Amino acid sequence: MISVSRPSLGHEELAAVGEVFESGWLGMGSATLAFENALKDYLGCRHVVAVNSGSSALHIALAGIGTGPGDEVIVPSITFAACVQAIIATGATPVFCESREDDILIDIDDVERRITARTKAIMPVHYCGNPCDMDRLLALAEQHRLQIVEDAAHALGSTYKGRRIGSFGHATCFSFDPIKNITCGEGGAVALADDQVAETLRRKRSLGITKESWHRYRDVRNWHYEVTTHGYRYHMPNFCAAVGLVQLRKLDQFVVRRRAICMRYDAAFRDLSKLRILSVDYADTAPHIYVMRVFGNKRESFMQSLKDAGVDTAIHYTANHLQPFFRDYVVDQLPVATRLSNEVITLPLHCGMTDEDVASVIEAVGRFDGAA
């Protein structure tokens, strides 16, 4: 079975973890700091705060800008549930919005219609790694005095008008789980420019404590600390950061391979009748997943057809306004998101795929489209 996704790990990552084990310091420490600095240099941003997951990054970013009860955060319904759960975790209310049909990026016209006096932030999602229209989003935020908290879990390595996603804007959240463009095993990070918010996030990721454990115990055993804010145990441990450091050095070659696979798919699928590819500019996009749409209520039969051919598939995502736990937050039916939720399907995309694997996926998809 050709898997939808798989991490690309080697002996270098294993050796890096071994060095951490030998040091005896497994929690947050020097490797975490080194990973933050390396990611900051790669993105070209002022601050990076590393945490233990992409979900934690979203939550702590919202909390760091003061999101709380009585606030609203506008978020596309077509995204991972982590976005919505992070909003709810702050006590704020998620406000679901539509996505555009051609690329499944946030529909900014619909966002504008949903802004109220209670709106605190907008959470655009760089879906598949394809960057959103940040100029328009930031202008809208300035007009209404809002914050933009980007979900860039799919978009490490993507650019917008020559600048890396994460190098501008208010707060940009990344994920480093096993199947992202790079992995730490598990992990996440927030990239941002504001010095005060960055310091707030550093304290919040360590239970609100003024001195993180690495600083308390290194050199001189200064045990004194103070708890100055509400916080969480969200820090990134050294062994995860060690994996991330190695992976970050490989990111550019990962992106080249992922783009090549996606462009080969696009060329093969562009003229199919039952399926439609998304509109993606690969000059700016570091692809995380390859998503297409299946028409005519044929998605289940398409998935079964590919499974029979040895090709795994997935769905990214079931619209959140259709999820049972989020029903209390639904104010309208979002027809575009509902339709997309029933059409999207994800094909295999990872650097472990051979050219023969890619050809097998293309053949299986073409066979389905050509069937009577």
SS (H, E, C) the chain: CECCCCCCCCHHHHHHHHHHHHHCCCCCCHHHHHHHHHHHHHHCCCEEEEECCHHHHHHHHHHHCCCCCCCEEEEECCCCHHHHHHHHHCCCEEEEECECCCCCCECHHHHHHHCCCCEEEECCECHHHCCCCHHHHHHHHHHHCCEEEEECCCCCCCEECCEECCCCCCEEEEECCCCCCCCCCCCEEEEECCHHHHHHHHHHCECCECCCHHHHHCCCCCCCCCECCCCCECECCHHHHHHHHHHHHHHHHHHHHHHHHHHHHHHHHCCCCCEEECCCCCCCCCCCCEEEEECCCCHHHHHHHHHHCCECCECCCCCHHHCHHHHHHCCCCCHHHHHHHCCEEEECCCCCCCHHHHHHHHHHHHHHHHCC
Rounded Cα gap, residues 87 and 95, in angstroms: 10
Q: What is the pLDDT of residue 334?
A: 97
pLDDT in tens, the chain (372 residues): 999 999 999 999 999 999 999 998 888 999 999 999 999 999 999 999 999 999 999 999 999 999 999 999 999 999 999 999 999 999 999 999 999 999 999 999 999 999 999 999 999 999 999 999 999 999 999 999 999 999 999 999 999 999 999 999 899 999 999 999 999 999 999 999 999 999 999 999 999 988 665 554 454 556 778 899 999 999 999 999 999 999 999 999 999 999 999 999 999 999 999 999 999 999 999 999 999 999 999 999 999 999 999 999 999 999 999 999 999 999 999 999 999 999 999 999 999 999 999 999 999 999 998 775
C-alpha to C-alpha distances, 329 to 63, 82, 94, nearest whole angstrom: 20, 15, 7
Q: Catalytic residue, from 40, 120, 180, 204: name it.
A: 180
> Which residues, at least 6 apart from 248, have a Cβ–Cβ distance to it below 8 Å?
35, 38, 39, 42, 182
Domain spans in the chain, listed from the N-terminal domain onward? 11-247, 251-370
Q: Tokens 């978009």 appear where? A: 155
HEC assignment per residue over 142-207: HHHCCEEEEECCCCCCCEECCEECCCCCCEEEEECCCCCCCCCCCCEEEEECCHHHHHHHHHHCEC
Q: What is the pLDDT of residue 221?
A: 52
Q: What is the pLDDT of residue 169?
A: 86
Rounded Cα gap, residues 102 and 280, in angstroms: 9
**CATH code for residues 11-247:** 3.40.640.10
The class of domain 251-370 in CATH terms is alpha beta
Q: What is the pLDDT of residue 145?
A: 97
Q: What is the pLDDT of residue 287?
A: 98
Q: Is 180 a catalytic residue?
A: yes
Q: What is the pLDDT of residue 212?
A: 61
Q: What is the pLDDT of residue 214?
A: 53
C-alpha to C-alpha distances, 147 to 63, 64, 353, nearest whole angstrom: 12, 11, 39
Side chain identity at residue 328, one-letter code: D
**Are the C-beta atoms of 43 and 156 separated by less than 8 Å?**
no
Q: pTM of the full predicted structure?
A: 0.95
Rounded Cα gap, residues 163 and 308, in angstroms: 42
> Which residues, at least 6 apart from 31, have a Cβ–Cβ distance to it below 8 Å?
16, 20, 238, 239, 241, 242, 245
Rounded Cα gap, residues 59 and 151, in angstroms: 11
Rounded Cα gap, residues 153 and 186, in angstroms: 12
Side chain identity at residue 362, one-letter code: I
Q: What is the pLDDT of residue 224?
A: 77
